[in-house]
Amino acid sequence: MSLRISLLAALAPLAACASQVDSDHQGEALAEISGSVRNTRSLPIADGSEVVVVWQNSSGSPDLTGADSVEVQGSFPAQFTLSIFEPPADALLNDFNGVKVGVAYIIAGVPGTNWSNDDEIESGLLGMDVDHLLVYVPDGVPAGSDATLLLHSAPAPGFHLFGVHKLTDEESAARQECIDQLAEETLDAVYNECGGPASFDDFVPLDTDLATPLDIELIDDPSTIDAPNWT
């Protein structure tokens, strides 16, 4: 589809941030996500890999940061479980007309990568889950708000996993034709009459929510990753 974002472009504004969790952390995890990491690289991974949650604030200037990470150990395919002990900072939450929503990519990278350095992003990024996004809503999503249109649901406060539906060229063209015929191109009309924007992927609520198994593929060229294009 058109306007598919480049993963490297999406992660370029990242601010360097270490994991929030260490071996001395005490307390109950707010959320846990689990899955597997598959290695299809022909190139070796000298320093291993880790799974990192990367939040994106698209309302205003993009502002991204790694929130939590877990080292991937063992032979591939390797299993991982990432526990999240803190919500994303308020500055990393998108503001949709007064409703705060955090959206994060789930990526794999070389441990110790400085995500604020373009060269390190290029060499440190190994893969991502292209079919899921992590969502955080601090206060829930009121029915009828712009956020319910984006998320196709009104999730309760807390963390949630969403699926990603990537539009086919035919679906994108049909939506654009519908949008072009709208008497007034309001957000409500775009979603309720045409199904949503023609250029962006859809959030898909999941019955399995945080229990949904994730899948990350490590590849040689991360610039070819078809990253979720949600904004």
Q: Domain boundaries in the chain?
A: 7-166+202-224, 167-200
Kindly report which listed range (53-67, 94-108, 122-136, 204-218) carries the lowest average pLDDT score.
53-67
Q: Sorting pLDDT into bands at 50, 70 and 90, what band is 22?
A: very low
Can you tell me the mean pLDDT for 164-175? 97
The C-alpha atoms of residue 156 and residue 154 are separated, in whole angstroms, by 7
The C-alpha atoms of residue 176 and residue 182 are separated, in whole angstroms, by 10
Closest of 49, 54, 68, 65 to residue 112, by C-alpha: 49
Closest of 182, 199, 227 to residue 1, by C-alpha: 199
The C-alpha atoms of residue 181 and residue 5 are separated, in whole angstroms, by 26
Closest of 231, 6, 1 to residue 128, by C-alpha: 6
Mean predicted lDDT score pLDDT of the chain = 84
pTM score: 0.86
Helix ranges (H only) for the chain are 7-11, 118-124, 146-151, 169-180, 187-194
Residue 27 pLDDT: 76
Kindly report which listed range (112-121, 168-177, 178-187, 207-216) carries the lowest average pLDDT score.
112-121
* pLDDT of residue 19 exceeding 70: no
Kindly report which listed range (23-27, 31-35, 56-60, 212-216) carries the lowest average pLDDT score.
23-27
Backbone angles phi, psi at 109, to 5 degrees: -150, 175
Q: Which two tokens stand for residue 55?
A: 């939040």
